[in-house]
Chains A and B, each alone.
Chain A
């Protein structure tokens, strides 16, 4: 009976895996297939559209800008959230609910409403601060807040923050040292997760950039599709694969400490 149950579970698991796999991979496969078609149905397979990516300056520019935005957003997110969350947990526990509410708020507001609210702000920024697309990082910070908050909060909950920080302080560590040498290393997985989620979100973002009149990767893909559908699809697949690989890394980055320990035990 037990083995029958296990078999059924196994079959169920494989089925789910296959269905979900197909759900994700078929569209990507189809896109890839489309992007490698030649000019006619009978033409041989070609990677022309892929090599064309680097020949379109607008696309290259957009890719670079989106990557920069992803990095800036992640760093800003960490710099803003991590110390705040640690401080609130240690010193102002009463504020925790409020902070959580604020951080999760963007999730409940439709992107379009958010953008419309930001339009006047960005008009002002463009005139008074800078026209650089990197200013989008502010908007993206709001966008990634809920996901990063959740991830970091789970990471903080998994360590005995109070005791560890107090132990470090009793040993002579100032707050900076406490953050960098005690808190960060002990929640590296959560921090990495938060960063990867932010990167994936920023790389896939279209609405904000488009409505605020910036040309990021997704907007550039759209413009490119008017010129050459093949190339735009190739870029889209590349971006998707990039995000996919990032998320894959995320699920494989276990707790490094445990792996080290296991390796030591084996030796």
Chain B
């Protein structure tokens, strides 16, 4: 068995999952294009998170894969088999919904056993697998409770066990954690990842929470208006966003005016390397991450373009986000809380920009890359 503890980028290869292909999926609702040609291939056993703002078509994509909604074009392929016209109940999918979806008239155990019953799994096997599944999600002591006797997090875990119990080809998760509070959410998302790695089912996970997507996925797909903007490992999506939209959606971004010259962009006297190496010379807006901004006390240094005044500090736990007013623009800097404490609101500070490669955006809608 392949060990899967070596980090988010490892792919559990020799597992039960099948390859899942979404080919040019289209879906229109009266006047609204919910999906505009979405193509995506999930490797067997891979967990891909679809991330995007509200209304960008994430749920629609998932429902098309599940067969709960009909396509207006394109194909869905499970392990080489075209299932586009197969009804939902014949697709062998497991799905966890955003809304609580346990059958209220059944206990947790009966919920988990229900799908197996429909798949004609024998009584003994059914009972065994149902308790195994509940064990897997850590709910054995609650096996005989009804949904209304379980907490929200417990209900979603039962729903996960229920979806996995039928050994689905594909696991589909539609913001299963969005109804839970932050702490439970973080714990449960790690648990989902652990269970998914253990079972090895190819999984499509929909969320609008970037932290969740980056934490859990092998690859993250960022969507906008029914299209995939970028697909890649979490690290890449975060540190090398392919488009300005991805840069501003995943993580916070400072937009600073600068000038492109000889393959680098000059921002307020600092030269920063470019992500788009083919950018032509001229004015541009550089997208700079808050964590690439550092602060120093102004001391007796001469006034410069990066000197300003701290106007606010947001405490985030281990780090703090400091807002600095540079006169013509405000800049966010994310620092260790201990460093931020040295610069309370009202003090003068001097900023420095770490020379990480940055994306640029051009105001005049000129195509700046092929």
Give A contacts to B, CB under 8 Å. Answer: 159-160, 163-164, 166-174, 177, 181-182, 185-186, 257, 260-261, 264-265
A186–B111 alpha-carbon span in the complex (Å): 14
Complex A-B: 20 CB contacts under 8 Å: A160-B101, A163-B100, A164-B103, A166-B101, A167-B95, A167-B102, A168-B114, A169-B87, A170-B66, A170-B88, A170-B93, A170-B95, A171-B89, A171-B114, A181-B114, A185-B105, A260-B146, A261-B146, A261-B149, A264-B144
Question: Please, how many angstroms separate the alpha-carbon atoms of A176 and B118 in the complex?
Answer: 12
Residues on the A chain within 8 Å of B102, using CB: 167
Q: Are A169 and B101 in contact (CB under 8 A)?
A: no
Residues of B within 8 A of A177 (CB): 118
**Dominant secondary structure of chain A at its interface with chain B:** helix
Contact with A along B45-69 (1 / 0, CB 8 A): 0000000000000000000001010
**CA A172 to CA B86, docked complex, whole Å:** 12
CB distance from B218 to the nearest CB of A (A): 23
Residues in A neighbouring B148, C-beta threshold 8 A: 261
State which of B66, B88, B104 has its C-beta within 8 Å of the C-beta of A159. Answer: B104
- How far does the alpha carbon of A168 sit from the alpha carbon of B94 in the complex, in Å? 10
Report yes or no: A169 in contact with B89, Cβ–Cβ below 8 A: yes
Q: Whose C-beta in chain B lies nearest to the C-beta of A162?
A: B99
How far, in angstroms, from A159 to B104 measured CA to CA in the complex? 9
Chain A nearest CB, measured from B74 CB (Å): 20
Please tell me which one of the listed residues B94, B104, B119, B146 contacts residue A170 in the complex, with CB atoms under 8 A apart.
B94
Question: How near does chain B come to A200, taking the closest CB pair, in angstroms?
Answer: 26
List B contacts of A168 (CB < 8 A): 103, 114
Q: Is the CB of B104 within 8 A of A174?
A: no
Tell me the complex Cα distance, A164–B101, Å.
6
Give the docked Cα–Cα distance between A160 and B103 (Å): 10
Please indicate the chain A residues that have their CB under 8 angstroms from the CB of B99 in the complex. Answer: 160, 163
Residues of A near B289 (CB, < 8 A) are: none
Nearest 5 interchain pairs by C-beta: A171-B115, A170-B95, A167-B101, A172-B118, A185-B105
Instruction: Evaluate contact between A257 and B105: CB separation under 8 angstroms.
Output: yes
Give the shortest distance, in Å, between A191 (CB) and chain B (any CB).
Answer: 13
Given contacts A167-B103, A171-B162, 6 further A-B contacts (CB under 8 A): A164-B101, A172-B119, A185-B105, A186-B104, A257-B146, A260-B146
Chain A residues near B238 (CB-CB < 8 A): none
Please state if A186 and B105 are interface contacts (CB–CB under 8 Å): yes
Indicate whether B163 reaches chain A with its CB closer than 8 angstroms.
yes
The verdict on B310 contacting chain A, using a C-beta distance below 8 Å, is no
Shortest CB-to-CB span from A173 to chain B, Å, is 6
A173 proximity list for chain B (CB < 8 A) = 89, 118
Which of A170, A172, A173, A261 has the most CB atoms of chain B within a 10 A radius of its CB? A170
Residues of A with C-beta under 8 A to B68 = 166, 169-170
Query: Measured between alpha carbons, how far is A160 from B102 in the docked complex, in Å?
Result: 10
CA distance A139 to B66 in the complex (A): 43
Q: How far is the CB of B362 from chain A (nearest CB, A)?
A: 44
Smallest beta-carbon distance B23→chain A, Å: 22
> What's the minimum C-beta distance from B332 to chain A, rounded to whole angstroms?
39
Smallest CB separation, B99 vs chain A (Å): 5
The interface centre, meaning the residue of B87, B88, B148, B162 with most chain A CB atoms within 10 A of its CB, is B88
Chain B residues whose C-beta falls within 8 Å of the C-beta of A182 in the assembled complex: 103
Q: Mark B123-156, 1 if CB is under 8 A from A, else 0.
A: 0000000000000000000001010110000000
**In the complex, chain B residues whose CB is within 8 Å of the CB of A166:** 66, 68, 88, 95, 97, 101
The CA of A92 and the CA of B126, in the complex, are separated in Å by 36
Q: Does B34 contact A (CB under 8 A)?
A: no
